[in-house]
Amino acid sequence: MFAHALKLSRLLFLALLFTSGMYTLSATANTFNAETFTLSNGMQVVLIPNHKAPVVTHMLWIKAGSAYEEPGTSGIAHFLEHLMFKGTEKYPAGTFSTTVKKLGGEHNAFTSWDYTAYFESISVDHFETVMDMEADRFQHMNPPEEEVLSERDVIMEERRQSIENKPQRLFSDNLKNALFRMHPYGRPIIGWSHEMAQLDKADALAFHDDWYTPENAILVVGGAVTRNVLEPLAEKIYGSIPAHEGRTPPQAIYSEYAGNTIIEKEDPNVHSRKFYKLYRVPSLTTHKDDALALDVLTAIMANSTTSRLYKSLVVDQKLATQIYISYDNFRRDNTSFSIVANPAENTSFDELSNAIDAEITKIIRDGVTEDERKRAVNNMQADAIYALDSLSGPAMIVGRALATGVSLDDVETWVDQIAAVDANSLQMVADKYLNPKTAEHTVIGKLSPPLAPSESEAADNMADETSIVNEPSTDDTDVQDNSPQE
């Protein structure tokens, strides 16, 4: 499966960056007490001990996803993820899944822009078996040709069902493509359909040879195992894979445009209107301090009934029926910060956009209160406690962080770092990235059902079902409006 937002991982990140056991925060202890070491072939291994149950989570993270694809081969990272389940000489097609299920375990895989991950959760008694199967396909992936062709049909159907038959998802992908022009983050992870149709075994093997190398992989193990057991086992099974130099990660290339892009679309399969505003902003990897502040600002602005945008626009002014912010700060490059809202019945898109801008302008002009800041951090902590029961969550969090360039130390000390974000930092990032008069690289989306005949006649310039307008940037420095993004 391909991961678009990985919301579960995001929740787990917030949820598990806290000390287990007493469900309280600690300013002195590391969150996970993880240990890390490197095998003789360059593969990094991370152990996250958890002896609550005799279960182990085994995750292999490849530091390459759809952003690493060659032009014309979009979707190959996700396609390869599927083909990794189609057998090797040692373990023929179907053996992997059958064995894991027979042993009472669970397994899956997912692809994102910057990484591909494979995971199994299983009884500690069968840990070595799972590790041997995973290491074998990591090194010897070689599916039969008939499996390749049939699996290509599977991913083509997956795109039809998950994107092409879902107008909101298709529209969202179009917005991302506009936000990340000339950048691989603008491509859908699953790929463009016309390029997916041409993918073959040679493409998959080439991507595998380029990126599935020990030096470009991270093994994350969580659960009831000790380093004294794991280290020699990992060296025996994974360390025996020959090291070889892979590809250099691609450089990001942005189209440097200024001003806003507005995309409007009417779709007969859409039953309610939706408003989007996206900004290109830093991730934890590209600017850690600003990303931490944007994280807290997200909690202050939206995603709870007491947040600024919800209280003002949904409860008080009744301009929207729903509003939330999506900010994915786990990226190797810059990322997106998006506001998504459903306008109320008699609210125009422009009216809602202006109201959002006005709320952000208040933050830029007046800042946030200390009570808001503390409440936001406390809410993030409450989300954490809610999901503390997961055994596989810590491996997911650590793996995703390391695969996108975040250090293990930053993961371990996230609690202290998020608590240290002050009100001035929150005001600064709002002005720096969300200011409606100065923000660059923004995209506004307006998705709606077709207008009724009478409404259509009143609309002057609705000749096209989809229209794109590039608004020039302004030099006016007066602060009045502003708006975020995913």
What is the distance between the alpha carbons of residues 248 and 424, in angstroms, rounded to a whole number?
38
CB 444 within 8 A of CB 324: no
Structure tokens at 213: 């190398």
**Catalytic: 81?**
yes
CB 48 within 8 A of CB 395: yes
Length in residues, the chain: 486
What is the distance between the alpha carbons of residues 296 and 327, in angstroms, rounded to a whole number?
11
Cα maximum dimension of the chain? 75
Q: CB-side exposure of 316: number of CA atoms within 13 Å? A: 11
What is the distance between the alpha carbons of residues 281 and 278, in angstroms, rounded to a whole number?
9
What is the distance between the alpha carbons of residues 79 and 62, in angstroms, rounded to a whole number?
14
CB 368 within 8 A of CB 438: no
Considering the candidates 81, 151, 266, 359, report the single residue annotated as catalytic: 81
SS (H, E, C) the chain: CECCCCHHHHHHHHHHCCCCCCCCCCCCCCCCCCEEEECCCCCEEEEEECCCCCEEEEEEEECCCHHHCCCCCCCHHHHHHHHCCCCCCCCCCCHHHHHHHHCCCEEEEEECCCCEEEEEEEEHHHHHHHHHHHHHHHHHCCCCHHHHHHHHHHHHHHHHHHHHCCHHHHHHHHHHHHHCCCCHHHCCCCCCHHHHCCCCHHHHHHHHHHHCCHHHEEEEEEECCCHHHHHHHHHHHCCCCCCCCCCCCCCCCCCCCCCEEEEEEECCCCCCCEEEEEEEECCCCCCHHHHHHHHHHHHHHCCCCCCHHHHHHHHHCCCEEEEEEEECCCCCCCEEEEEEEEECCCCCHHHHHHHHHHHHHHHHHHCCCHHHHHHHHHHHHHHHHHCCCCCCHHHHHHHHHHHCCCCHHHHHCHHHHHHCCCHHHHHHHHHHHHCCCCCCCEEEEEEECCCCHHHHHHCCCCCCCEEEEEECCCCCCCCCCCCCEC
Catalytic residue numbers, as ranges: 81
